[in-house]
Each structure stands twice: as structure tokens, then as C-alpha cells.
């Protein structure tokens, strides 16, 4: 059943527009490392387009370091959610996400040394960059 005494019904929370409940699920799942529940809550929060969840999404981006493909995928989902919410406060994070996988010193993709041997990582980084760029486009309109 995961980290919860009773599995959270993310779909029901989405149908009810329960932003607070989804945010609580997101943060509890973060504490326990339950990526599946985090991703479900992130997608639901993006669908609700309520900016009150932004501090929690920003917290994840500020505190988590992607260490596996599921984390990269989750960062892409956060970028998507930020674009759906459409709040200009997201711009800093989205711009940062468009540079995932870029060496901050040289400005060149780090793909040559890491990603050629790990195609799943390359695909995940491409997903993050693509979702962040699309989200920035929505916010700029």
C-alpha cells in the first residue's frame, strides 16, 4: 500500500478539486520517497491549475537532486504542471529546468560524457527540457 495507511485516491481528490489534499499527498510522498504518488499528485495539481500549490512544487525543485530516471521524469511532470498553472513566479524554475544536463561552466551538454551510454537518462533530460520550454511558452503569452 505504500507510505499511507490507506492509499490516497488521487483521482477522487482531483475530481473534488482538493488542492490541499493533493499537496499533502505530494509532500508526504516526497518524505517517504514514493515517486509514483508524487508524480500522480503533481499531474493532478497541474490539471487543477491552482497556484496555491506552487510553494510545494518549488520546494521539490529546490531540495531534490535527480538521481535516477524516475526523478528526471518527475521534474518533467513538474515543468508541465507549472505551465498548466501559468503563474509567472514559475519562470525562474522553468528557465533552470531548460538547462538540465548542461554543464554550467562550459555551457555545453553533459551528454557526451554521461548520456551516450545511458539512453534512458538522455530521454529523461530531453523530456524535462521540452516540458520546461513549452511551459515557458505558456507563461509568456
The answer to whether the beta carbons of residues 51 and 87 sit under 8 Å apart is yes
- For the entire predicted model, the pTM comes to 0.85
* Residue 95 lies inside a defined structural domain of this protein: yes
DSSP letter for 49, please: T
* Residue 79 lies inside a defined structural domain of this protein: yes
Which residue stretches of the chain are H helix?
A: 10-16, 19-32, 35-48, 54-63, 69-85, 91-97, 111-114, 119-140
Residue 1 confidence class, pLDDT cut points 50, 70, 90? very low
* Residue 107 lies inside a defined structural domain of this protein: yes
* Residue 16 lies inside a defined structural domain of this protein: yes
| C-alpha pair distances (Å), 44 with each of 17, 49, 80, 126 | 9, 9, 11, 22
The answer to whether the beta carbons of residues 43 and 85 sit under 8 Å apart is no
* Residue 3 lies inside a defined structural domain of this protein: no
CA-to-CA distance for 68 and 135, rounded, in angstroms?
23
* Residue 21 lies inside a defined structural domain of this protein: yes
Task: Specify the 3-state DSSP secondary structure of 106.
Answer: coil
pLDDT in tens, 29-81: 999 989 999 999 999 999 999 999 999 999 999 998 777 677 888 999 999 99
* Residue 1 lies inside a defined structural domain of this protein: no
The residue count of the chain comes to 141
Q: Which residues pair with 109 in a beta bridge?
A: 102
The total of structural domains in the chain comes to 1
Instruction: Tell me which residue range forms the domain holding 89.
Output: 10-140
Report phi then psi at 139, rounded to 5.
-70, -30
pLDDT in tens, 82-139: 999 999 999 999 999 998 877 666 666 665 545 555 667 778 888 999 999 999 999 9
* Residue 90 lies inside a defined structural domain of this protein: yes
Amino acid at each position: 500500500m505504500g507510505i499511507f495507511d490507506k492509499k490516497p485516491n488521487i483521482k477522487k481528490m482531483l475530481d473534488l478539486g482538493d488542492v490541499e489534499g493533493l499537496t499533502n499527498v505530494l509532500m508526504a510522498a516526497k518524505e517517504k520517497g514514493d515517486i509514483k504518488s508524487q508524480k500522480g499528485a503533481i499531474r493532478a495539481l497541474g490539471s487543477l491549475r491552482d497556484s496555491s500549490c506552487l510553494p510545494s512544487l518549488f520546494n521539490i525543485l529546490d531540495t531534490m537532486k535527480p538521481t535516477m530516471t524516475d526523478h528526471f521524469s518527475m521534474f518533467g511532470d513538474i515543468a508541465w504542471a507549472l505551465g498548466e498553472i501559468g503563474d509567472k513566479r514559475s519562470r525562474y524554475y522553468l528557465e533552470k529546468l531548460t538547462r538540465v544536463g548542461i554543464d554550467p561552466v562550459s555551457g555545453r551538454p553533459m551528454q557526451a560524457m554521461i548520456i551516450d551510454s545511458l539512453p534512458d537518462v538522455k530521454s529523461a533530460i530531453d523530456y524535462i527540457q521540452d516540458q520546461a520550454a513549452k511551459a515557458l511558452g505558456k507563461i509568456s503569452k
